[in-house]
């Protein structure tokens, strides 16, 4: 813009800073400057819009969380959190010996009664044969006593008595003759003494033979029969024990499960009770969970339970409450509850069937107890 000087009449330029040469070409067009002025208010409103969206989203999430944590309490069910406790058993021979065979290895599934390992049986066979021989000897001795004397033995005793009677009669005759002659001097005193001694001996021998015949006719004493019968029973026990030791040379699986560890190898000498395998029992398994004092009176042993895992939430394992601890304790760190960890709780054991082997040691599970199906109290 220019002004005209009244005195000189010369139009002068407005007093303003001079622009460098070429500035007109660098300046944005008027339309672009106008558009920039229009966008400025909209850019200033964008952070406010984002903030409002975040506030609304957070409020919605907080409301959803509050509703999920403050749902009306379902009095027909009790939901508990717990962990699987799989039982394990250390398998060992009942007798000592040398391992002859090992039929399974770590990770193998076994059924109840499967032969897992065997010992060298030769020594057990020898013990059994010796026990059986001793038993036969004792049985024969008892039979002999129970049957009594044979007729031949009684006849032999009678013949011996007759022989002793004849000997006594001759001794009496010799003694009488020596007695008559000793006075006349025809028989020496020594001969007379010998005849007298022979007579005494014949009398004693006859008495012994008669007692022997009496015992043969009466048979063995009842006390001897009872002692022989007891001896036979002892030998029977020895046979049973030897047979049991032979049977115990086989290591059998007590129930279905999986071999967890294998502690010995073939050819090793093991003692009785020394662990050879460790087996994890497949079923049933236990769930270790905890219930607070408020819900303690709502449950009882025998109550049916449904168990779900995080890996298969739609699959339900069936079980029942098997044990409720009579003493309270603090909630362990491995159990997740909605109450404070300082609350006192009672340990609960739920026995669960595990037909497919899906429940494993330490697995977290959710236990649902149906309070409407509580078993009837005993005595009702």
3-class DSSP string for 227-252? HHHHHHHHHHHHHHHHHHHHHCCEEE
Q: Is 105 in contact with 264 (CB distance < 8 Å)?
A: no
Give backbone dihedrals phi and psi of 288, rounded to 5 degrees, phi first: -100, 115
* Domain annotation covers residue 326: yes
* Domain annotation covers residue 314: yes
* Domain annotation covers residue 37: no
Mark 265-281 as b/e (b = at least 16 C-beta within 10 Å). Answer: eeeeebeeeeebbbbbb
Question: What was the pLDDT predicted at 13?
Answer: 44
> Which residues, in sequence order, are CB contacts of 318 under 8 Å at separation 6+?
304, 305, 306, 307, 352, 353
Question: What was the pLDDT predicted at 60?
Answer: 84
CATH assignment of the domain containing 334: 2.40.30.170
* Domain annotation covers residue 288: yes
- Using alpha carbons, list the distances in angstroms from residue 218 to 76, 133, 151, 229, 253: 85, 30, 12, 19, 58
* Domain annotation covers residue 111: no
* Domain annotation covers residue 101: no
* Domain annotation covers residue 241: no
Task: Give the residue carrying structure tokens 């139009």.
Answer: 11
For 170, the 3-state DSSP assignment is: helix
Structural domain total, the chain: 1
Question: What was the pLDDT predicted at 188?
Answer: 81
Question: What was the pLDDT predicted at 15?
Answer: 46
Q: What is the pTM of this model?
A: 0.56
Domain that holds residue 308: 77-87+283-373
* Domain annotation covers residue 126: no
Task: Render each residue's pLDDT in the chain as its tens digit; 380 residues.
Answer: 444 444 444 444 444 444 445 444 445 555 555 555 555 555 556 677 777 788 888 888 777 776 665 555 556 788 999 999 888 899 999 999 999 999 999 999 999 999 999 999 999 999 999 999 999 999 999 988 888 777 887 888 888 888 888 888 888 888 888 887 777 777 788 887 888 898 889 899 889 888 888 877 777 788 888 999 999 999 999 999 999 999 999 999 998 889 999 999 999 999 999 999 999 887 778 999 988 888 888 888 889 999 999 888 889 999 999 888 888 776 555 555 555 444 678 888 999 988 887 888 888 999 999 887 666 554 44
Read off the DSSP letter of residue 119: E
What is the Cα Rg of the chain in Å? 55
């Amino acid at each position: 813009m220019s002004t005209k000087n009244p005195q000189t009449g010369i139009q002068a330029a407005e007093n303003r800073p001079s622009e460098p040469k070429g500035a007109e070409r660098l300046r944005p067009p008027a339309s672009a400057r106008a558009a920039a002025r229009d966008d400025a208010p909209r850019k200033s409103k964008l952070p406010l819009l984002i903030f409002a969206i975040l506030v609304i989203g957070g409020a919605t999430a907080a409301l959803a969380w509050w509703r999920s944590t403050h749902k009306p309490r379902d009095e027909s069910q009790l939901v508990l959190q717990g962990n699987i406790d799989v039982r394990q058993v250390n398998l060992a021979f009942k007798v000592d010996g040398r391992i002859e065979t090992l039929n399974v290895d770590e990770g193998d599934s076994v059924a109840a009664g499967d032969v897992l390992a065997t010992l060298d049986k030769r020594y057990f066979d020898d013990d059994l044969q010796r026990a059986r021989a001793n038993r036969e000897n004792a049985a024969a001795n008892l039979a002999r006593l129970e049957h009594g004397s044979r007729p031949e033995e009684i006849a032999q005793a009678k013949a011996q008595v007759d022989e002793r009677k004849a000997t006594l009669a001759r001794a009496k005759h010799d003694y009488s003759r020596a007695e008559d002659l000793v006075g006349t001097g025809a028989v020496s005193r020594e001969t007379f003494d010998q005849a007298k001694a022979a007579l005494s001996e014949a009398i004693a021998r006859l008495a012994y033979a008669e007692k022997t015949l009496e015992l043969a006719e009466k048979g063995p004493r009842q006390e001897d029969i009872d002692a022989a019968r007891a001896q036979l029973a002892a030998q029977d026990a020895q046979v049973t024990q030897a047979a049991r030791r032979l049977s115990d040379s086989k290591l059998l699986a007590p129930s279905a499960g999986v071999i967890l560890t294998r502690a010995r190898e073939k050819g090793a000498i093991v003692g009785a009770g020394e662990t050879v395998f460790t087996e994890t029992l497949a079923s049933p398994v236990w769930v270790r969970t905890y219930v607070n004092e408020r819900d303690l009176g709502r449950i009882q042993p025998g109550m049916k339970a449904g168990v779900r895992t995080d890996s298969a939430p739609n699959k339900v394992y069936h079980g029942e409450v098997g044990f409720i601890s009579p003493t309270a304790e603090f909630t362990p760190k491995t159990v997740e509850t909605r109450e404070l960890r300082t609350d006192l709780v009672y340990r609960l054991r739920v026995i669960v069937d595990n037909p497919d082997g899906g429940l494993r040691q330490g697995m977290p599970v959710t236990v649902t107890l149906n309070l409407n199906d509580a078993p009837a109290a005993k005595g009702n």
